[in-house]
């Protein structure tokens, strides 16, 4: 049951009775403080302003027409015209029991039914295959993946696009270096075992040897012209580089696969047509030998238009050209309704330019929504961008290894009774989950401090706290002798849910707000909202657990079953919520 939608309908009907025009919404939302009721309808204030009426009097008229029999125990008018709604325990108990019956047999939350679904392209991760993935790729990868999971959960057709950087001038240098190493008997897998070292070696060779540099430059031209030898070398480099990235994705529990890779090279043949179309429409003009689109929309303080170079004077193409081709492909071939780019904030101007040029040139449909969803920087505890002690870039693979190692020590200390295999499994899930959640729980657009101590803490808004909360709920079913998720679960589901106090009521409200939270995150792409929800849900459950005995001998069977349903709903919601964030749960910790 969508309580917010139900209350919106009821309040909107009352607004009609109070002669409020239909286009003015009821604006029902969950109350932020208990004294303001369970829900608030805030539409009277905006409606009164537009109608030139007294907001408190209009709120009174709306309440006079409001029929919430069997739903609310009381309705109050507060302040200048807020309508506070206090729900009955019976209504909440019925809604919670319906939700329990709606759960899948494995206990996880089912998705809310969507009346309108879309084809959504999510562009994320997009590492440069010339180098290994580093911590700078972390935010795009895990935020984008969480959003792809959430959108799929809601029934949308999600097309993941890993726009890997596999083309450009640096690849001439790299394949020339690979050729020389293969020429002395080196195997490509061994030569490229450490991509970062290989890149540095090739760059040093390029800077020190003019003959090698000339060959590297010529290989760029040959590669872009389809030379078979250069393409074979390039393909060897790409295959091994992609394997490096996919190993990271598997360790991160990220859903990107080989099939999701649509790299820069995929658009190579389309670039000539992109530039031709821009020239034919007089959008691109020659400037110092290059083809440039000048955008008055982003003029500087001296009213000089913002230049977007789509072809260099030597005939080469740039990221802008490839990005335009990608947009056209996503509009024409993938038929996307919405295209979401998880790219860091430093690319904001570039993305605005690309979106503007694409619309002006007619490369995309008018009804397509384009979104650049920027994110801040991961900072070290010194407040500076996260680096090694020597100031170098931290490899993502090394960071994840360290996360699991630290989690292993923590798990061995917390629960030495686990077997070695259990410790390894738990440490992997806790370590990786901690790194991901520490990022996702922060407002996407903000910078954040990376701290091992805070992210691996079992207290506060962290992955270990939530994973432990889930494991603790599952332990209740083991003590009760219930095979959670199987036929035994149906046995305690035959009784209705009963609300006997504030702790059960608050837990019901939290459980019933999950779908609205997920829908909100799908709209604004701020995963921290879901993180905060899960933390509040876990906190509400802990209060319920402390105040509402479940398995004590003096608890009546009907009340025991009611509270086991609350436990099942909490476990299923925590598990589903963490799954949407790409974080794994476990039965024991």
At residue 46, the pLDDT reads 94
At residue 575, the pLDDT reads 96
At residue 443, the pLDDT reads 96
Mean pLDDT calculated for residue range 161-173: 92
- pLDDT tens for 417-451 read 899 999 999 999 999 999 999 999 999 999 999 99
Mean pLDDT calculated for residue range 174-185: 88
pLDDT band with cut points at 50, 70 and 90 for residue 518: very high
At residue 498, the pLDDT reads 94
Mean pLDDT calculated for residue range 275-286: 97
Mean pLDDT calculated for residue range 337-345: 96
At residue 107, the pLDDT reads 67
- pLDDT tens for 29-76 read 999 888 899 999 999 999 999 999 999 999 999 999 999 999 999 999
Instruction: Give me the percent of the chain exceeding a pLDDT of 70.
Output: 96
Structural domains present in the chain: 3-87 (3.30.1360.70), 89-112+402-589 (1.10.730.10)
Cβ pair 467, 578 in contact under 8 A = yes
Mean pLDDT calculated for residue range 513-522: 95
At residue 105, the pLDDT reads 54
Mean pLDDT calculated for residue range 541-564: 95
At residue 194, the pLDDT reads 84
Q: Residue 28: which of 69, 61, 68, 73 has the closest Cα?
A: 68
Mean pLDDT calculated for residue range 171-197: 85
Q: Decide: residue 367, CB within 10 A, 0-12 exposed, 13-18 middle, 19+ buried.
A: exposed
Q: Is the pLDDT of residue 106 over 70?
A: no
Concatenated DSSP letters of 202-237: HHHHHHH-HHHHHHHHHHHHHHHTT-HHHHHHHHHH
At residue 188, the pLDDT reads 78
Concatenated DSSP letters of 541-557: HHHHHHHS-SS-TTS-H
296 membership: H or E segment, kind and range: none
Joined tokens for residue 32: 């932020």
Q: Is the pLDDT of residue 487 over 60?
A: no
At residue 8, the pLDDT reads 96
Q: Is the pLDDT of residue 389 over 70?
A: no
- pLDDT tens for 398-423 read 999 999 999 999 999 988 989 999 99
Q: Is the pLDDT of residue 184 over 80?
A: no
Report the C-alpha gap between 119 and 158 in whole angstroms: 6
How far is the CA of 104 from the CAs of 110, 396, 502, 568, 569, in angstroms? 6, 36, 27, 11, 11
At residue 384, the pLDDT reads 85
Q: Is the pLDDT of residue 474 over 90?
A: yes
Mean pLDDT across the chain, nearest whole number? 92
- pLDDT tens for 343-373 read 999 999 999 999 999 999 999 999 999 999 9
At residue 385, the pLDDT reads 83
At residue 383, the pLDDT reads 84
pLDDT band with cut points at 50, 70 and 90 for residue 132: confident
At residue 2, the pLDDT reads 83
pLDDT band with cut points at 50, 70 and 90 for residue 114: low
Report the C-alpha gap between 273 and 271 in whole angstroms: 5
């Amino acid at each position: 049951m969508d309580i917010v939608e139900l209350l919106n309908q009821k309040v909107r009907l009352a607004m009609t009775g109070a002669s409020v025009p239909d286009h003015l919404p009821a604006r029902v939302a969950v109350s932020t403080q208990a004294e303001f009721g369970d829900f608030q309808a805030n539409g009277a204030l905006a409606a009164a302003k537009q109608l030139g009426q007294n907001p408190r009097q209009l709120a009174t008229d709306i309440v006079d027409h409001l029929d919430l029999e069997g739903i609310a125990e009381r309705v109050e008018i507060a302040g200048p015209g807020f309508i506070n709604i206090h729900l009955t325990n019976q209504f909440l108990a019925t809604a919670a029991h319906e939700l329990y019956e709606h759960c899948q047999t494995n206990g996880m939350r089912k998705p809310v039914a969507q009346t309108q679904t879309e084809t959504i392209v999510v562009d994320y991760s997009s590492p440069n295959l010339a180098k290994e993935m580093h911590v700078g790729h972390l935010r795009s990868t895990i935020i984008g993946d969480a959003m792809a999971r959430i959108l799929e959960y809601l029934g949308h057709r999600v097309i993941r696009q890993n726009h890997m950087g596999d083309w450009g001038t640096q690849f001439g240098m790299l394949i020339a270096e690979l050729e020389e190493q293969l020429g002395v008997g080196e195997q490509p897998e061994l030569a490229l075992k450490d991509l970062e070292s290989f890149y540095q070696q090739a760059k040093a060779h390029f800077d020190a040897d003019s003959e090698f540099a000339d060959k590297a430059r010529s290989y760029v031209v040959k590669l872009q012209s389809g030379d078979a030898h250069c393409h074979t070398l390039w393909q060897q480099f790409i295959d091994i580089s992609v394997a490096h990235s996919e190993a990271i994705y598997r360790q991160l529990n990220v859903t990107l696969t080989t099939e999701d890779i649509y790299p820069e090279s995929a658009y190579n043949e389309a670039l000539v047509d992109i530039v031709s179309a821009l020239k034919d429409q007089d959008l691109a003009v020659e400037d110092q030998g290059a083809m440039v689109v000048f955008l008055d929309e982003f003029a500087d303080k001296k009213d000089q238009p913002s230049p977007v170079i789509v072809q260099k004077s030597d005939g080469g193409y740039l990221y802008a050209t490839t990005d335009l081709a990608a947009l056209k492909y996503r509009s024409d071939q993938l038929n996307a309704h919405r295209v979401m780019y998880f790219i860091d904030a430093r690319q904001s101007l570039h993305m605005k330019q690309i979106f503007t040029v694409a619309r002006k040139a007619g490369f995309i449909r008018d009804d397509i929504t384009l979104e650049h969803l920027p994110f801040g920087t991961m900072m070290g505890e010194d407040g500076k961008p996260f680096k090694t002690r020597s100031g170098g870039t931290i490899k993502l693979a090394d960071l994840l290894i360290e996360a699991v190692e630290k989690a292993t020590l923590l798990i061995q200390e917390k629960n030495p009774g686990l077997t070695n295999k259990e410790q390894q499994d738990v440490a992997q899930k806790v370590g990786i989950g901690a790194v991901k959640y520490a990022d996702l729980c922060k407002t996407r657009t903000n910078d954040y401090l990376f701290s091992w101590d805070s992210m691996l803490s079992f207290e506060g808004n962290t992955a270990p706290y939530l994973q432990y909360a889930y494991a603790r709920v599952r332990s209740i079913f083991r003590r009760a002798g219930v095979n959670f998720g199987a036929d035994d679960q149906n046995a305690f589901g035959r009784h209705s849910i009963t609300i006997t106090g504030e702790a059960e009521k608050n837990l019901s409200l939290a459980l019933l707000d999950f779908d609205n939270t997920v829908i909100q995150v799908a709209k604004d792409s701020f995963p921290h909202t879901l993180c905060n929800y899960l933390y509040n849900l876990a906190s509400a459950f802990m209060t319920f657990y402390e105040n509402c005995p479940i398995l004590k001998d003096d608890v009546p069977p009907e009340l025991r079953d009611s509270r086991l349903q609350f436990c099942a709903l909490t476990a299923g919601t925590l598990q589903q919520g963490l799954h949407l964030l790409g974080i794994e749960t476990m039965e024991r910790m």
